[in-house]
Amino acid sequence: MSRLTQSPAWQALAAHQRQMAGASLRELFREDARRFEKFSFSAAGLVLDYSKNLVSGETLSLLLDLARQAQLPAWIERLFRGEKINASEDRAALHTALRGEAPVIVDSHDVMPEVRGVLDRMERFAEAVRGGELRGHAGHPFTDVVNIGIGGSDLGPCMVTEALKPFGTPSLKPHFVSNVDGSQIVQTLNGLNAETTLFIVASKTFTTQETLANARSAREWFLARGGSEADIARHFVAVSTNREEVTKFGILESNMFGFWDWVGGRYSLWSAVGLPIALALGMNRFRDLLAGARAMDEHFRGAPLEQNMPVVLGLIGLWYVNFFGTRSHAVLPYDQSLHRLPAYLQQLEMESNGKRVDRDGNVVDYATAPVIWGEPGTNGQHAFFQLLHQGTQMVPADFIAPCRSQHPIGEHHAMLLANFLAQTEALMNGKTEDEARAELTAQGLGGEALAKLLPHKVFPGNRPTSTILMGAVEPRTLGALIALYEHKVFVQSVIWNINPFDQWGVELGKKLAGKILGELSAQGAATSHDASSNGLINFCKAHR
Ligand code: G6Q
């Protein structure tokens, strides 16, 4: 057994779980009229209600003991101070500095002047493009921005520009190309005008195969439509930490927006990787997004653990993963604008905490990140919610919604909210056999017909959910929401004693793909792999 699972705090929680496993949420609410007041609070424009979870005051205090045992407060300070807590890459993880104000010292110099410098350059560039001072080679203002990047260089800005679309301007449309599948870039560029299209090639390393392939195809597309080599400077900018590769690709150094190795890909939307956000929404809105995240940072750093939103959210998640054995966690935004949020959080949580060895390299004997998945409501209700209500496994879920719509029309938002609120209540209360029987009887059913249908009409309930509410999806609340999840992931990583900031797991497949790429176009059959891989490669070769 590991030190963690043997520890007093862990053992106390394991014993406590045996008690709570039999608890009924219905009963807990019946017994305590103040349960909502006790188990909900607000921070940085968000409200978290975690009262519909299988927790009591004692659960929370035992979970907080676990957090203290892991020295969470000290780790939070280490994060904000820029210590090199990403040990396997020997780096700090300073996404908080990107939206911060106070000096932060890394390798004995303050990084904040550089952070502000890049933000100011982004501002000048974005406003010049939006204002029409910076134009395409034929003298026309830009109408479309195509961001070429993948993973951390795509998901964040894509999710945010989708979420904040009403804050954008119709005269400058953002597009995102990430997949190396040529269909995506072909379909995106179809219908665009090369004279009014601006490309951002976003890649921290500037060596990512997919991004470079898409960037090369974009360049060819541009050159084939009247652009010259010299015009590339007006139409292509890069966001990267790798000056050398950027210039090798043919993008001028003056068209490069830099960032730093202490910004992890999936934590990078606050840096120059957010350029498409600034272009689409304007720099003021981008700064509001940063301000929202900063408000959550200040809360995370300053609030007592028991009233600390990322801490509580992280502990609740961990409670189910480690003590109830759940293996997946649903994120269900009830707002169409947040339709990319589950995909974004999938990367944030699963790439950060999908680890099997601890900070010291020992294989862990406890579960780490669950599978994160989700879709916007109400669509999910007509699809997978069946499993949430009546399936055999418990899937804890976060329900997220704004009180006000970005597009108020008729009764739509009230209907959306009514469904949102109804689902967490239904998941919690379920429907007992007696209730189901009474309902069926009232419908005129009896005898054998009733007995046959009855088991199908029972909902066990007691399915835990957390609810996050905000006024509206706008730059500040969205910034706070993203930072909330970033810190939640950090909290869990500290307790699991894993490094959330590296991602060695994505390497292996990448290297193999390079080898297979050569084999796909080589003469003769592939023979160097296992029989399955050889067979599949050769089938593809025969049918290409
Ligand atoms: C994020 C990951 C990964 C990365 C992409 C793109 O944390 O490291 O998703 O962002 O592989 O990498 P580049 O930005 O270097 O192209």
pLDDT digits (tens, 9 = 90+) for 101-125: 999 999 999 999 999 999 999 999 9
- The residues, any chain, with a CB within 8 Å of residue 16's CB and separated by 6 or more, are 58, 59, 62
Q: Which of 284-298, 370-384, 506-520 has the lowest mean pLDDT?
A: 506-520
Q: How far is the CA of 265 from the centre of ligand 1 (A)?
A: 5
**CA 127/CA 122 separation, integer angstroms:** 8
Does position 511 have pLDDT exceeding 90, yes or no? no
Indicate which atom in ligand 1 lies nearest the CA of residue 152: 10
pLDDT tens sequence across 283-323: 999 999 999 999 999 999 999 999 999 999 999 999 999 99
Q: Tell me what pLDDT residue 510 has.
A: 81
Active site positions, annotated? 351, 382, 510
Cβ-contact 277, 269 below 8 angstroms: yes
Best residue for ligand 1 mutational test, from 148, 204, 351 (most atoms within 8 Å of Cβ): 204
pLDDT tens sequence across 436-481: 999 999 999 999 999 999 999 999 999 999 999 999 999 999 999 9
Best residue for ligand 1 mutational test, from 89, 91, 176, 208 (most atoms within 8 Å of Cβ): 208
Nearest protein Cα to ligand 1, atom 8: 265
**CA 142/CA 314 separation, integer angstroms:** 43
Pocket of ligand 1 (CB under 6 A): 150-153, 203-205, 208, 211, 264-266, 351, 503
Q: How far is the CA of 398 from the centre of ligand 1 (A)?
A: 26
Indicate which atom in ligand 1 lies nearest the CA of residue 208: 16
Please report the sign of the dihedral spanned by the C-alpha atoms of residue 12, residue 14, residue 15, residue 18: positive
Give the 3-state secondary structure of residue 472. Answer: coil
Strand partners for 40: 49
Task: Using CB atoms within 10 Å of the CB of residue 330, give its burial: 0 to 12 exposed, 13 to 18 middle, 19+ buried.
Answer: buried
Does position 154 have pLDDT exceeding 90, yes or no? yes
3-state helix, strand, coil in the chain (%, to 5): 55, 10, 30
Over residues 83-105, the mean pLDDT reads 97
Backbone angle region of 49, left / alpha / beta, with phi > 0 → left and psi within -120 to 50 → alpha: beta
Nearest protein Cα to ligand 1, atom 5: 151
Closest CA to 236 of 248, 220, 225, 252: 252
Nearest protein Cα to ligand 1, atom 2: 265
Phi, psi of 379, rounded to the nearest 5 degrees: -50, -45
**CA 265/CA 253 separation, integer angstroms:** 21
DSSP annotation of 236 reads: E
Q: Locate 465 and state its tokens.
A: 């959910």
Look over the chain and give the mean of its residue pLDDT values, rounded to a whole number. Answer: 97
Nearest protein Cα to ligand 1, atom 9: 151
Q: How far is the CA of 147 from the centre of ligand 1 (A)?
A: 14
Q: How far is the CA of 155 from the centre of ligand 1 (A)?
A: 10
First to last CA, the chain: 51
